[in-house]
Structure 1
Amino acid sequence: MSSVAEETGVAGDWTTLDGSQQRVAVEVLRHGPLPRAELARRLGLSPGSLTRLTRPLVDSGLLVEGTSDVHTRTGRPSLPLDVRPSSRRFVGVKITGDALFAVVTDLRAAVLVEHEVPLPGRGPDAVVDAVTDAVARMRGEHGEPAGLGIGIGGRVSERRDVTKAQFLGWQQTVPLAAWLHSATDLPTVVENDVRALTVAEHWFGAGRGLQSLVVVTIGVGVGCGIVVHDRLVEGAHGAGGSVGHRPLPGWAMCAQGHRGCAEAVLTSGAITTAVGQALGRSVTYDEVLELAVAGQPAARRAVADAGRALGLLVADIAGLVDPDLVILTGEGVGAVDIARAELDAALEEGRDPAGPPIRVDVQPFPFTEWARGAAAVAIQAHVLGPAAPA
């Protein structure tokens, strides 16, 4: 008997699943392919209950049976269940102060296409127009997407409204999801860019299968994404993971008037300012790193101080969260390679000596990976509903 998917060429509809079916399908999406016995164990289901739940999912094409060499105790082969990643397309867009980085992904957030365009202006209208144009181009070339995800540096409420985006100069609430939904006719979710990147790593990257995860980013700003008990921490007002003004050793002052906070010590601007003052001329961040590698004293000292400060910040966060893994990334993460000894020493100094070592993974993600994070948020919204971070 042919399935609905075989007859129509379209996999089943995630939006019609009841709670139990959704649990099954999401578990397979995140961790599959999975043999039925393993899936039943993960979800605490009897074989009969699992069969009852999965049969309509297989018949509709939402789940598919693969091939396997795994055999049951009776000797019969156990076919693992999986999703069809190619059954859906999603668009993810990372918005910076100067450009849009857009990707098309499949259902497991594998990047199929990348696209970068300059941002013509920083006002909300210009951003909406630029995103709409990028979506239209990708739609025309790669088919109809199932959803649109936006990652933006700033404070985002309920994955809909941007309440502050300092790099774009937005100080008042912008209903960005609603405006883009109206402009593109696509289900649209908006998330803080660091939390979006954390979603992608939690569901489909280095954090896959982990119950707790921290992602710390350094660059123009300092950001943090946190997963606890397998759920993303968003906070009551969309400010979960705001660590930019955590106190650290140092005398420099940030733009908000805080002396010695993370943004005053760790941002690329803070580091270039310190080195530029010592040298009596302007320097770029890449030049600072080159000078530090060459042993120039002011550059080496600034990068070493940043490495130590970052280690103390990570130890502070890890002491609160107790994560399985900490990922360090961002456009400023190149300093970590130079100051890894200082970072590791500060981690040891700052962590609970009775606790386990802090596991740290350094990932120099390009902006397309951040756009993939936005697509991952759209995937979450598609399979769980728009207001259900996980």
Structure 2
Amino acid sequence: MTAGIASWPPLSPGERAVAIEVLVHGPLSRTELARRLGLSAGSLTRLTKPLIESGLLVEVAEAGVPAEARQGRPSTPLDVVADSWSFLGFKITEDMVYGVVTTLRSDIVARHDRPLTTHDPTEVADVLGEMTAELTRDHPRLAGIGIGVGGFVQDRAVVGESPFLLWRDVPLAELVEERTGLPVVVENDVAALVEAETWFGAGRGLDRFVVLTIGAGIGYGLVLGGKRVPCAEEDRGFGRHWIVDPNGPLTPDGRRGSAVSLLTIPNIRYQIRAATGRDRTYEEILAAAAAGDPMPARVVAEAARALGTLVAQISNFVMPQKILLAGEGVGLMDVAGKTVEETVRDNRHPLAAPVELETKVSDFHDWACGAAVLAIKVLVLGSAEV
């Protein structure tokens, strides 16, 4: 077991609001911090004093500004000490566990991966415990663990259902806590990624924000008012029933013409295999499509139109300020991004504002980092209900 669990001191709601604002947006001057939170100078001084005394916040020099040019405390930025604690994030796939260590601001400082040769819950927990022990040697000041799983997660602790791991009602948080002595939070992997992007990534500071992932499946996360909108049906396979082309292909996974049938890597590979008898990787299919090979080009074009339709539908109904496209399938944009953009325009009002679509090229360590942010939020907010 790992001893010495770090924690923030007990904070009042006002102090916590200040600390979070500095964590997410800092360094910030007192003047800017007061403006953001709608506080008077006196109120801010009262709230920041105990945070500075406890070492939670520190005064930092402004980059490029000599000391003699600073105009006193109101202009002296406040910041958190990002490396004061470390956090573990794990992303569990069908055959691998990807682990990262991050700072308080989610910067990855170490990576560690292990093959997953079993899906037995206790043995998977053993693997996570062993990886934690190995990472603790170089990063002893660990504050918590976040775990991302593809599937339905209850109460940020129990994996209710995971089609990739064939799990039902697995108390994963409890199993890992028993082996590590650290607080553990478990969440659907897409939800974890949304939380991370909202605090530290593409959605930082935005009121309405969407994350759309394509890869082994389809993931969707919505942020309103700067907070992720939880859903009781999260990762119940909504993409299998989101019809984007009623005349689209019928595949083993998903209804005819659904987002899953048209867009996911397994189903794109299935379409090529069914049509040609050849089993190709996703990367090979994209390369063949780019080279003009007729069958891959047709399948990739259909996928691009499906993605464009999906983005347009989301934009029409949610009106987000930005849509982040992520996941291991985003290479589609490199080959058929123009088709995606044209389809978005075709399915939007001619006078509608352009959709800000940002593509994030990522790997499974980024998903693990998203899980680590769950642990960060538990430390900061004092609860797994974040």
Bin the TM-score by the shorter chain.
Answer: over 0.9
Give the share of equivalent positions with the same residue, in percent: 45
Task: Answer whether contact 1:15 1:382 (CA < 8 A) is retained.
Answer: no
1:208 corresponding residue in structure 2: 204
Q: Which amino acid aligns with 2:142?
A: P
Q: CA deviation at 1:166?
A: 0.5
SS in 1 for 2:142: coil
Do residues 307 (structure 1) and 304 (structure 2) align? Answer: yes
Do residues 140 (structure 1) and 137 (structure 2) align? Answer: yes
SS in 2 for 1:258: coil
Counterparts of residues 39-50 of structure 1 (less than 5 Å): 39-50=33-44
Q: Which amino acid aligns with 1:336?
A: M
The correspondence for 1:26, drawn from 20, 23, 26, is: 20
Do residues 119 (structure 1) and 119 (structure 2) align? Answer: no
The correspondence for 1:51, drawn from 42, 45, 64, is: 45
Q: CA deviation at 1:179?
A: 1.6
Q: Which amino acid aligns with 2:214?
A: I
Do residues 63 (structure 1) and 57 (structure 2) align? Answer: yes
Q: CA deviation at 1:73?
A: 11
2:185 corresponding residue in structure 1: 189
SS in 1 for 2:361: coil
Q: CA deviation at 1:196?
A: 1.0
Do residues 233 (structure 1) and 209 (structure 2) align? Answer: no
Runs of 4+ in 1 over 4 A off after TM superposition: 69-77, 237-242, 254-257
Q: Distance in 2 between matches of 1:317 and 1:222?
A: 14
Deviates more, 1:79-88 or 1:320-329: 320-329
CA 130–316 in structure 1, closer or farther in 2 if over 3 Å, else same? same
Q: Distance in 2 between matches of 1:241 and 1:256?
A: 10
Q: CA deviation at 1:61?
A: 0.3
Task: Answer whether contact 2:240 2:258 (CA < 8 A) is retained.
Answer: yes
CA 212–15 in structure 1, closer or farther in 2 if over 3 Å, else same? farther
The correspondence for 2:79, drawn from 58, 79, 82, is: 82
Q: CA deviation at 1:247?
A: 0.7
Deviates more, 1:204-213 or 1:333-342: 204-213
Deviates more, 1:315-324 or 1:212-221: 315-324
CA 254–145 in structure 1, closer or farther in 2 if over 3 Å, else same? farther
Task: Answer whether contact 2:173 2:186 (CA < 8 A) is retained.
Answer: yes
2:359 corresponding residue in structure 1: 362
Do residues 292 (structure 1) and 303 (structure 2) align? Answer: no
Q: Which amino acid aligns with 2:213?
A: T
Q: State the TM-score, normalized to the length of structure 2.
A: 0.92
The correspondence for 1:265, drawn from 262, 287, 291, is: 262
Q: Which amino acid aligns with 1:54?
A: T
Q: Which runs of 5+ in 2 are unaligned?
A: none
1:387 corresponding residue in structure 2: 384
Q: CA deviation at 1:14?
A: 2.3
Q: CA deviation at 1:387?
A: 3.2
Deviates more, 1:356-365 or 1:242-251: 242-251
Task: Answer whether contact 2:240 2:253 (CA < 8 A) is retained.
Answer: no
Deviates more, 1:142-151 or 1:46-55: 142-151
CA 237–262 in structure 1, closer or farther in 2 if over 3 Å, else same? closer
Counterparts of residues 322-333 of structure 1 (less than 5 Å): 322-333=319-330
CA 39–74 in structure 1, closer or farther in 2 if over 3 Å, else same? same
Q: CA deviation at 1:386?
A: 3.0
Q: Distance in 2 between matches of 1:338 and 1:139?
A: 42
Q: Distance in 2 between matches of 1:278 and 1:236?
A: 38
The correspondence for 2:100, drawn from 89, 98, 103, is: 103
Q: CA RMSD in A?
A: 2.2
Q: Which runs of 5+ in 1 are unaligned?
A: 1-9
Q: Distance in 2 between matches of 1:158 and 1:132?
A: 21
